[in-house]
Each structure stands twice: as structure tokens, then as C-alpha cells.
Amino acid sequence: MNERDDLADAERAERAGDPIGAALALRRHLERHAGDGAARLRFARVLIAAGEHGAARQALAPLEAQLENAWARQGAGALPGLPTEREVERALAELDEADGAVSSAAGRWERLLADDLDDAQARARLARLRPTAPAPLRRENDGAGAAETLVSPEGVETLRYRLVREIGRGATATVYLARDEALALSVALKILHPQLAGTRRTEPLLRFLAGARLLAGLRHPGVVAVYDVDEPARALAMEWIAGGTLRARLGAHPDGLPAAEVAATARGLVATLAFLHGQGIVHGDLKPSNLLLRAPGEVVLADFGAAVRIDREAGAVRLGEPGGTPLYLAPEQFQGAPASAETDLYAAGAILWEAATGHSLRTHAELLHRGRPANADASDEAPPANAPAGSGAGLRAQLRARVPDSAEVILALLDPAPPNRRQAWAAAPSRY
């Protein structure tokens, strides 16, 4: 296969909403053309969109080194002239923010702003990171409270909400911690990116609003509550849950969560999925970063941007953008199967496996190295690099010893046969 075929394959995969396919094609291209900066940046963007920040940073490392060398040669007066280099700096700034490296991110945004004072994104991001930034980095008509109100690079203007800080940014929207001045209430405010809401991009806006209205009609303690859908502002005001994400909780417990907490997480997750699936709703992108915590073991599902509604007459109706994170996809999804209740159950099993053991069922590096696993499950998947040495049977025995009350449910949810997962789901309440 030649280089043009690989890039074309990546383009087709991206259009089809297949990030792992796009990543594999771009990786093949880069194996032969490691110096192709544009393809490397594109590869990193695909990884960022899939939530794989560590892999994206690794992909950008050669470009970052070139960028730092250029800065050392030219000083801080201006960025080098190629547009790609600005985009590399922008991607690195976004990754630094996502990883909590505020000082590094602010420095990158400053360099971008010094090169182009009209860069609205850089100016607004810097204002949030450094609200006392020197005057030259602000326009003369910028008020002292400009960074506190919802007049942002997202292009949204409203007097009702006051921004506190950005708490997440994805491929389609940004989420802020905000203050609802009318209700005197802290909320999570999700705003669709402006480039997806123009007259030529009405489909993403319609999907965003459809998903928001669907979520607003759901009432369950395991589903994040919606307070308001503001169509003109392209904004969704949701319950603010201060306990953080399960991803952050797992990061603080690299050897796995306590057995009692895993059992509580399993109970809550299974019960919430039972409610959603009973309503004909498939989440479509379950992963630790989409699970919020009221308290340890009390999970709340969020981010329904890839949700699917199962209609008996119309079949599956996708409400959001095609989703799914490769580390948590069910085996049949690597063969082209759509999101379903059974794929949600597999993702739940993969999340619980990670909570119990401290490592993911798969790793992104394994997926890129080995391609699409034909039958990726707890029995057949090769153990992750940081897992204890031993056979699949040995790992299952370790799981049973580590979380005896949850192990059988976790393993059943990871069954490669979708019907078996549904049986496990139906039996799960009796296991606790």
C-alpha cells in the first residue's frame, strides 16, 4: 500500500467516525515517513479526539523538539513561519491544559498571542489561565471582568451565567463550571463549539440539541440532571457534581480501588444502565472520564454526546456524533457493529476491570501495534504491559481474589458473545 492510499484511508476513516482506523492508517504512513509533520500533527489530533492525551503527546514529541529548537534559534519575538508550527503549539497548549500544566499552557498561549494579537482563542484561554495578564496581552476595550462572563471564543453571550473555570474540552463542546446568577446555583455549562453551529453545519447543532433534550427528560440519580437547554446560546446547563471523575479517582489509586468501592460502583453502574436501556437509550461512549462521582462508589453518567435511541419502528437513531473510545469498545465494534445495549455492557465491564485491577483491559499502544482485535475480551486479550505475568486464567483468578463480590459480574460483562452479556446484566442484581 502506498503513502497516498494510507492518507486516503485515514480520511475515509475520519469521515466514518472511526478514530482507530484513522490512527492505524496514519501510523502506517508515519512508519515510512516519520518526518511528515502535517501527518504527525493530524495523527495527534485523531488521538486527542479519542481522548488519548498521552499517546497524542508522544506523537507530537518530535514536532515539539523541532519547535523548541526553533525558539532557541529565533528567540521569543515570533513563531517560525510555517502554519503547521502554530498548530503544533496550539495542540500542545490544549494538552497542557487538559493535563493541568497551567503554567506551561499559559506560556504557549502567550507565544501564540505574541505572534497574532487577533488570535481570539489564545487571548481568551490566556485570560482564563492568567486573569492578571499584562495589558499588552489584552485589547484596550477588555473590561476587568471579561474572563468571568460568558463572552468567550465560543462566541456565546449571555448575562445569566458567569464562568468560573473551564473543566473539560472535547471534539464537539467545551464544559465550564459556571454560576447561574438567576438561581444562585453552580452548574456545569456545556457549549457547542461555534464551528459546528454555523449555517453549513446544522446537523451537529441539531444532534447536540436533540441529545440535550433527551437527557433533560431523564430523571435518575445515576444520570446527570439537566436544568436548562438554551438553543440560541448552544448551551446545556447541567448539575454540577463536585466529586470529579472516576478517571481521576483511578489515577489516585494505581493498584485499583478497594473491593467494597468496586462493588458499589458496579451496583450503581449496572442499575443506571438498566434504567437507560429500559428507556431505549444507549450511552455509546462509556469510559472513566464520563463517569462522575457524588462520592466514592456513587457514579453518575455524563456526556451523552454519542447517545443512540433505540426506536422499535425506526430502529437505532443516533442523537450525537459517532462515538466510542477504542480502549472500551466491545469486540463486535471492531468488526463494524454499531453501539448497542450490549456494547454499553462490555464498556461497563472494561471500566470495572480497570477499577478492580488498576490497569486497563487493553492499552492504546497494543491496539495500534496489533491492529483491530478480532475477539478482544478478558479471556483472549493479551494482558496489558503493566499487568502481572501469567495466563488469562491466572488474571481471572487474581480478579476473583481481589474483588470476590464483583469478579463474576465483571467477567460476564466482558463475555465476547453479546447475548451472554445481557444475561449477566439481568442476573447482576441477584449477585449483590
Within 10 angstroms of residue 175's Cβ, the number of other Cβ atoms is: 18
Name the amino acid, one letter, at 94: E
Within 10 angstroms of residue 401's Cβ, the number of other Cβ atoms is: 10
**What pairing do the DSSP bridges indicate for beta strands 281-282 and 291-295?**
unpaired
H helix and E strand count, the chain:
15, 10
Q: Going by C-beta distance under 8 Å and a sequence separation of 6 or more, which residues neighbour residue 242?
A: none
CA–CA–CA angle 33, 37, 40 (5° rounding) = 75
Q: Tell me the C-alpha distance between 377 and 329, whole Å.
A: 10
Q: Which residues pair with 229 in a beta bridge?
A: 236
Within 10 angstroms of residue 196's Cβ, the number of other Cβ atoms is: 18
Residue with cell 471582568: 145
- H or E element at residue 294: strand 291-295
CA–CA–CA angle 118, 120, 124 (5° rounding) = 130
What's 116-162 look like in SS3?
CCCCHHHHHHHHHHCCCCCHHHCCCCCCCCCCCECCCCCCCCCCCEE
Q: Tell me the C-alpha distance between 103 and 189, whole Å.
A: 25
**Catalytic one of 96, 285, 377, 415:** 285
- Pair 97, 125: CB distance under 8 Å: yes
* Residue 28, CA distances (Å) to 43, 116, 130 in order: 11, 35, 40
Quick check: helix, strand or coil at residue 242?
coil
Question: Is 285 in the active site?
Answer: yes
Backbone angles phi, psi at 238, to 5 degrees: -125, 165
Exposed e or buried b per residue across 43-74, where buried means at least 16 C-beta atoms within 10 angstroms of its C-beta: bbbbbbbbbbbebbbebbeebbeebeeebeee
- H or E element at residue 178: strand 173-180
Cell numbers standing for residue 373? 482485535
Active site residues: 285
